[in-house]
Every structure is written in C-alpha cells, then in structure tokens.
C-alpha cells in the first residue's frame, strides 16, 4: 500500500464509473487526477463492482484493470468489518456502500463521491464531491436560469426512456429541452451499470445536469 498523504482520498465506485465512461467534466476530472497522484484508495468492493460487470468488452475490462492498478486497495480487514457492522446497525446504507464508508472511516480519509445523499447519513464521514468546484457552482447558477424554461427529469423518466418503457415517447419528445439533477443522474448511471446496460444515454444528458 502507498503512503497516505494529506491529499489521499477513498474513491467511490460511481466516480470511477463516470471516469471510465468519459462522463466527467474537466473540473471533476482534474480533481480525480490529483487524487490518482496522491496515493488514494479504493475499497475491495469497488474492485468487485468495476470488474464484475458482466457486459465488459476486452477493451473496457482492460481499461478498468489499468485504472485499479494505479490505486491502493484496502482489504476487508477486521476493523473495516466492525465499522461496517456499526453503520448497518445505525443507517440504511446497503452493504456495498457501508463497506466503502467503513473503508474511509478506517483510513481516516475523505470519501470522494457524487452520492452525497446516502453517505451524508454517516456520522464523522468527510465527503468530497468533485463536481462542486467554484467554477461548477457558477455554471450551476446559469443552469438554474435556463431551467426556468426547461423540463426537469427525475431518474424514473430517464430510465423509462433508456429501457423503452411506457411513457418513453413522451420523454423523447422533450429530451432536447430537459435537465436532470446530479442525484438523479447518479442513480440512473448506477442502475444502468448494475443492470449491465449502456450508460451512454445518461452521458448525453450530463451536459444539462444541475
């Protein structure tokens, strides 16, 4: 394992998924690159989630493996297990998220994630969202102005479009003028990844996120 530095972080799986799918904005990518250079860590569950996707191509699997090779992996040792048990007793975190949060608490490092909604339930867990830089915040002000005349999608609407479920045609008719907030976008990408579906549709609407 590499030496933990002041800038070391624990990286959540969803951040690496965005990176591998080229969905990160320049500011967020810069934060991630700095984390890569600072001996950052992942949980063992992140390796399982990234490499265990059953629709990997040879190229995508190789790229994921190369990414994991530059990161330190924290094993599921006894202290991480104890942290995880406590979190499961006190919060409604799913086991994978509890393991990732427990890893960050064990290493005493911030968790870089976009899933602030769930992880903010964990006491004493420091969170870092690379999407919330000063530049991004100024851009979001412009986005909110634009949203006054746009449609805001929730996760279920975008998922219905991707899966061609009932109502998909209505979403498609408005997609050019639609936006989605970062929490719902993260939910869509995670569900598509877990189901082995393409995340391309989520990346397309990423430009209109808020």
pLDDT (tens digit per residue) in 39-61: 999 999 999 999 998 889 999 99
Encode pLDDT of 153-200 as tens digits.
Answer: 778 887 888 788 887 787 787 777 677 777 777 888 888 777 776 656
With 60 as the cut, is the pLDDT of residue 204 above it?
A: no
- What was the pLDDT predicted at 197? 63
Tokens for 5? Answer: 């530095």
Ordered alpha helix ranges (H), the chain = 13-20, 26-36, 44-51, 58-69, 78-90, 95-107, 116-119, 134-147, 155-163, 168-174, 182-194, 200-205
Q: Is the dihedral of CA 147, 127, 157, 16 positive or negative?
A: positive
What confidence tens digit (pLDDT) does each residue in 11-44 have? 999 999 999 988 888 888 999 999 999 999 999 9
Tell me the per-residue pLDDT of 107-151, one tens digit each, with 9 for 90 and over: 999 999 999 999 999 999 999 998 876 445 455 555 545 544 457
77-119 pLDDT per residue, tens: 999 999 999 999 999 899 999 999 999 999 999 999 999 999 9
pTM for the full predicted model: 0.66
With a CB cutoff of 8 Å and minimum separation 6, the contacts of 99 are 43, 44, 45, 76, 80, 84
Question: What is the token pair recorded at 188?
Answer: 């869509």
The pLDDT, as a whole number, for residue 1 is: 58
Q: Write b or e for each residue in 39-56: b if 16 or more Cβ atoms lie within 10 A of its Cβ, otherwise e.
A: bbbbbbbbbebbeebeeb
More confident residue, 207 or 9: 9
Q: For residue 133, what pLDDT is reported?
A: 61
In this structure, the strands spanning 111-112 and 72-74 are unpaired
Domains and CATH numbers, the chain: 10-128 (3.40.50.1010), 134-208 (no CATH)
Task: Starting at the earlier edge strand, list the strands of the sheet with 127-128.
Answer: 72-74, 41-43, 10-11, 111-112, 127-128
Query: Quick one: tokens of 111?
Result: 């968790």
CA distance 74 to 71: 10
């Amino acid at each position: 394992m590499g030496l933990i530095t002041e800038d070391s972080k624990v990286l959540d799986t969803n951040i690496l998924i965005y990176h591998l799918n080229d969905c990160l904005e320049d500011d967020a990518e810069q934060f991630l690159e700095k984390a890569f250079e600072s001996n950052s860590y992942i949980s063992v569950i992140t390796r399982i989630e990234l490499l265990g996707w059953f629709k990997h191509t040879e190229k995508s699997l190789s790229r994921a493996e190369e990414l994991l090779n530059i990161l330190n992996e924290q094993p599921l040792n006894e202290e991480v297990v104890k942290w995880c048990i406590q979190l499961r007793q006190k919060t409604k975190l799913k086991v994978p998220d509890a393991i990732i949060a427990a890893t960050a608490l064990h290493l005493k490092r911030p968790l870089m994630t976009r899933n602030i909604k769930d992880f903010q339930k964990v006491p004493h867990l420091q969170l870092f969202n690379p999407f919330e830089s000063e530049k991004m915040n100024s851009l979001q002000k412009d986005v909110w102005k634009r949203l006054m005349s746009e449609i805001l999608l929730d996760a279920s609407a975008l998922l219905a479009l991707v899966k061609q479920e009932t109502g998909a045609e209505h979403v498609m008719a408005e997609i050019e003028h639609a936006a989605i907030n970062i929490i719902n976008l993260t939910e869509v990408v995670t569900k598509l990844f877990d189901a082995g579906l393409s995340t391309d549709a989520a990346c397309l609407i990423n430009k209109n996120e808020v």
